[in-house]
Chains A and B, each alone.
Chain A
Amino acid sequence: MSAWLEGHPGLPRLLAGLDDSGAPMTLAQHAAVHGTLPPVHPHELIEAVQASGLRGRGGADFPTARKLQAVAGRRGVSAVVVNGSETEPASQKDRLLLSRLPHLVLDGAVLAADAVGAREVIVQIGDAARGSLDALQGAVAMRPDDPVSVQIVTAPQGYVAGEESAVVNYLNRGVLLPTFVPPRPFERGYRGRPTLIQNPETLAQVALVARFGERWYRELGTATDPGSALVTVSGAVEVPGVYELAFGTRLDDLLEAAGGPTESLRALLVGGYFGTWVDADVAHALRLAREDLRGVGAALGSGVIIALGQSSCGLHESARVIDYLAGQSVRQCGPCTHGLRAIADSTGALASGTAQAGEHERLLRWAAEVRGRGACHHPDGAARFVVSALNVFAPEIESHRRGGCTSAPAGFPVA
């Protein structure tokens, strides 16, 4: 399912023209919906992106213009990589864009390439998005006049596989593991070139900013979080799927657009597995904008929202997720290899009622200690997740001291 928040003025943007056919939009259909791509000078594009306030939609939330500037400012020929890894198990939005609206992403990639002085675009997708491959290849074939060459690469799946240095490492050496930085990709990336790595949604937004300008872009959203965004809603809602919303939309309205909750909610996981649990009592009034989310220690990240019903046990689901994250460590760095495993086992003990005295405190200490101590941010994200689980599910931890849990499994995706 994919839709936009109906009745919201100004929507849809990215999802405009998307029908129920399941087929990728052709170049002619794409041009009919959005118009042809106007010629944009590299400086103009970077300035427009800067004025729009667009930030990366892959999870790191980094200002897109700063990334463009960093690569544009380097000497020599650079490269653009579209990071379609979408390694977050509950996220669907990037493969929706790549499989249904590939020209929007390719427009953005071509514009970005021009802006940073690149002649090559590499689109890297994960195995789970293999279904996008035909659509992408078909779309590239429809664009013989693009001033850059576009190459599509598929990579194995893995939670850490989407990390920027891992993407570059895979393209250069076929090794899907993060590397020690610096050098960062903007300094030395694909084939040693300064490399811009962007998420597909970010590039799709760039394609719209180039056409309609920064003022138009800012007509939706809040002052600090302008524009629209794609979110993937799953869990205890009637119609899970990808939804386009304006930043600042109330979480309640998003759940309503997804058909409403299937039962009374206990909590919501905001931002995916590197994200933050928010108690349902707090969440219902929350607006999906940076300033509101920061107040509850959350961020939208890659746009994943999972609703947990009262009939499920958040502690049990969190233990499963952290066990998955520990298993996804690529075991290059000691604190991640050993720390996440210990954190996962300890969380499992809390959930099964077999925790020893001091387990909770030890778990919090480990979570604090692993932060910032990996070559990539895997331990940081996992630690953030587990700390928020311990906070929000404190009552469950208390009740589980007297034995395991009998709640219905919510079945969070852990593969």
Chain B
Amino acid sequence: MSERLRVNAIACEGHGQCAELLPELIRLDDWGYPIIEHPEVPRELSAHARRAVAACPTLALLLERSDRSGA
């Protein structure tokens, strides 16, 4: 069972914390909004992904179990 990152684009205000904490998977566009380059979170980055999710000031970064997302 793997985990996937997703952004609630309505909630996101482009604070950019996520890209700072998880540059392996997230970069910012020209206006500071996150681009999830690799939604699947490798196991070794799981703790970092959780930290990025917790750090988002608008709770816009989501970590979802991918076995459920395709329902």
Contacts and interface: CB of A to CB of B under 8 A. Distances in A.
A312 interface: no
Interface stretch (A7-15, A243-251, A333-341): A333-341
Chain B interface main SS type: loop
Nearest to A362: B30
Interface stretch (A30-38, A285-293, A368-376): A368-376
Interface size class of A (residues with CB under 8 A): 10 to 19
A179 interface: yes
A332 interface: yes
Contacts, number: 40
A114 B16 CA distance: 49
A62 B20 CA distance: 38
Contacts of B30: 338, 342, 366
Contact of A373 (B7, B11, B13, B32): B7
Given A369-B35, A373-B35, A339 B29 contact: yes
Interface string A366-399: 1001000111000000000000000000000000
A133 to B, nearest CB: 31
A62 to B, nearest CB: 15
Contacts of B33: 334-335, 338, 373
Nearest to B35: A369
A336 B7 CA distance: 14
The 5 A-B residue pairs whose C-beta atoms are closest, nearest first, are A333-B9, A334-B33, A338-B31, A332-B10, A180-B8
Interface of B: 7-14, 29-33, 35
Interface of A: 178-180, 332-336, 338-339, 342, 366, 369, 373-375
